[in-house]
Structure 1
Amino acid sequence: MAKDCSFDIVSEVDMQEVDNAVNQTVKEISQRFDFRGSKSEVSLEGEQVKVIGDDDYKLKSVIDVLQTKVVKRGLSLKNLDYGKIEPAAQGTVRQMITIKRGIDKEKAKQIVAAVKDSKLKVQAQIMDDQVRVSGKNIDDLQNVMAKLKQADFGIELQFVNYRS
């Protein structure tokens, strides 16, 4: 009975949690004394978070509040990709933060290479924005998961669809 076991490696972000974190940030900014009278704001626009501050210091403060709320909602900061700080209207500065979802081809190739370097009897294949790992031994699959959790690929990895 040689039955294959498998699991998928994905990088997903719960956009409802991102929306909740943005809303909590907006609420905190409106209530904090150091932001009184400032033009600081945060908004979610599709897959991006737009952060506006009076100056670089206020912008960094708003981003710090946002990061705190994101972590409290159980999301990883690895999935946030910070754009460059650019001047905006009325003397303010703006920064766009893109939410990274899915595994791009380069990261997927790095993950497959890491699985092959583990010298375990498993196969890894790239399937769109996820990687499927399969093998005959459940222990080998669990060892692959442990090795991938230790490695840093710059994105948050989740292991789903575990089939034995």
Structure 2
Amino acid sequence: MKKLFLLAAFVIGAGLYNQAEAQTISDNALGLRFGGGDGVGAEVSYQRALGMDNNRLEVDFGWRNNSDFDAVKLTGLYQWVWNIEGGFNWYAGVGAGLLSVNAEDYYDDDDGTYLFVAGDIGIEYSFDIPLMLSLDFRPEFGFFSDNDVLNEFAPDIALGVRYQF
């Protein structure tokens, strides 16, 4: 009986320990991703934790409206997250997206809707308050476009600011 009790305590303790270790990312995070490069600029960003393995889904929605072109961009990424130490995590992911461009006269060749695939690698810091800052690199590869510029590699480096809940 004593051995059975100790075995049960060990199994429960190990399960609680693994569960505590797996909760290094928040269930939800909502904020802004301030990107550059050939992107649309700032994007509204939402992250949702998936399961117990520190994996998550990130969905970003961005738009740009200026004198040269109007653009709407939707990106979805699956990310793997690893804890470093003291509130720091690093992550990597893959995904795809859709870009719709309505260009002015000079950029008429850019009009249309395009698909792209993306990678993602970055580092983030979660504060003791429900705030997270991140810095990531997202290479994007466009395809199915008549425009050679949109079919090429487009690097994007961004700073993310998100509220965790």
| TM score, norm. by length of structure 1 | 0.23
From the two aligned structures, give the one with the greater strand fraction: 2
Q: Using CA pairs below 8 Å that are at least 6 residues apart, which structure has the higher relative contact order?
A: 1
| TM score, norm. by length of structure 2 | 0.23
From the two aligned structures, give the one with the greater helix fraction: 1
